[in-house]
Structures are given as structure tokens and as C-alpha cells.
């Protein structure tokens, strides 16, 4: 299951599914077993519209899987609801992936998160890492020739945020103002980068049953 699917309205959405398919295929090849057929669930709140995902991204993803792995290797559907409640019957999922959902909870310390999980008892905390990452760290790493100035990096950051939030903002503000909104946002990003060390706080948690 991928939680927060609507907010990942860009090609990164199916990256986790693709990685899982590749790992399972490689493992089955080594064990000389036929790979299983997989079912992926996309989850978000009931008010969000999955049409854009299924219209644009899913078709491209399924076409690529069919070319690389064959037909009927992975089926994708959506499940509307909050992950704070129960979404599936017990023991019905093999793997759950939630990216950047921790900000909806609160800024808990590493120790508080660990104690809450251990007290709940459903999962074992295998590993947890907390680290800072520059807003444009991935851009600077890809820019090996250092040809991107701060203006272009600010533009790329603004475009990334636009890819995530545009569809939600369309519903509330209307699509006519979106381009101007993110043009102004790009300018704000540039100004902020001039005076601040801009970093995300990332929490990576590995749980097992």
C-alpha cells in the first residue's frame, strides 16, 4: 500500500512499486520460482480525486511493467480513507509505504516515536534514522558540472512542489492562478535560499510484524 498517493502526483509515485517488483523478480529468479502477481493499493483521503493518477500516471506505469515484466504482473487500485483508522482486514498486506506523512502528526522526538510504536505492540521497530537534507541536495548531486545557478535550482524546487500540490490547489483556488502563484513562489524560494540554510528533516522508519 502507498499512503498519501494524491500528494505524490508525479512520476515518483510508482517508484516504490517498481522497486518492489524488481526485487521480487530478482529473488524469484535466484530461487528459480515464478514471480507472483502483485496487487498495489493507493491510499488517500476520501475527498481527493484519484482520476488524474489513473488517467496519466497509471497508464504509463502499467505499459512499462507490461513491456519489462509481461502482462498481468501488477494490478493497481485505490482505497479512500485515513490511515489513522483501519483500512484493510488484519494480515492482508505484505508491505506498507508512507512517504512524508509524519508532518501530519507532530514534531515528536525520536524517543517518543519509538516508545509509541513499542507500546502499541503491532510492529517491531527494526531501524529508525533521522537526518537533515538540503532542499536542493538532489539537484546539486545531479549537477556534477555545477552549471545550475541558484535561480535555476529555485525554479526546480518550485516545480517539484508544484508537481505535488498543483492538483489540490486547483480545486481550492482555480487553475487560472496556478502559474502565477508558483512563479511568485519561485521568487520566494530564491529569496529564502539567499539568507537561510534550507533543509528538510527526514525520518526513515523500518517496521516489521
138 CB neighbour count, 10 Å cutoff:
13
Instruction: Read off the pLDDT band of 78 (50, 70, 90).
Output: confident
How many angstroms separate the CA atoms of 118 and 116, rounded?
6
Which residues, listed in sequence order, are joined to residue 206 by a DSSP beta bridge? 127
Per-residue pLDDT, 30: 94
- The domains of the chain, with CATH numbers, are 2-104 (3.40.50.150), 106-209 (no CATH)
Q: Which sign does the torsion angle of CA 153, 193, 160, 98 carry?
A: positive
Over residues 153-181, the pLDDT tens digits come to: 788 778 777 766 776 677 677 778 888 88
Q: At what angle do helices 58-69 and 15-31 cross, to 10 degrees?
A: 20
Residue 69 gets which letter from DSSP?
H
If we measure between CA atoms, which residue out of 75, 200, 181, 82 comes closest to residue 131? 200
Please state the separation of Cα 60 from the chain's center in Å: 17
Most confident of 45-49, 157-161, 175-179, 183-187: 183-187
How many angstroms separate the CA atoms of 14 and 186, rounded?
27
Over residues 9-39, the pLDDT tens digits come to: 445 567 778 888 889 999 999 999 998 998 8
Among left, alpha and beta (phi > 0; psi -120 to 50; other), residue 81 is left
Amino acid at each position: 500500500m502507498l499512503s498519501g498517493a494524491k500528494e505524490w502526483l508525479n512520476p515518483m509515485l510508482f517508484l516504490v512499486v517498481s522497486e518492489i517488483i524488481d526485487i521480487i523478480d530478482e529473488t524469484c529468479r535466484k530461487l528459480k520460482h515464478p514471480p507472483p502477481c502483485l496487487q498495489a493499493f493507493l491510499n488517500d483521503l476520501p475527498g481527493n480525486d484519484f482520476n488524474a493518477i489513473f488517467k496519466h500516471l497509471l497508464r504509463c506505469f502499467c505499459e512499462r511493467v507490461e513491456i519489462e515484466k509481461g502482462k498481468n504482473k501488477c494490478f493497481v487500485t485505490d482505497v479512500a480513507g485515513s490511515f489513522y483508522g483501519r483500512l484493510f482486514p488484519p494480515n492482508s498486506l505484505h508491505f506498507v509505504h508512507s512517504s512524508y506523512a509524519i508532518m501530519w502528526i507532530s514534531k515528536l522526538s525520536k524517543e517518543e516515536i519509538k516508545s509509541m510504536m513499542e507500546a502499541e505492540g503491532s510492529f517491531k521497530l527494526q531501524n529508525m534514522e533521522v537526518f537533515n537534507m538540503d532542499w536542493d541536495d538532489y539537484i546539486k548531486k545531479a549537477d556534477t558540472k555545477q552549471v545550475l545557478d541558484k535561480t535555476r535550482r529555485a525554479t526546480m524546487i518550485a516545480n517539484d512542489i508544484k508537481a505535488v500540490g498543483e492538483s489540490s490547489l486547483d480545486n481550492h483556488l482555480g487553475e487560472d492562478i496556478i502559474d502565477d502563484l508558483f512563479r511568485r513562489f519561485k521568487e520566494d524560494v530564491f529569496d529564502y535560499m539567499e539568507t537561510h540554510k534550507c533543509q528538510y528533516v527526514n525520518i526513515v522508519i523500518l517496521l516489521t510484524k
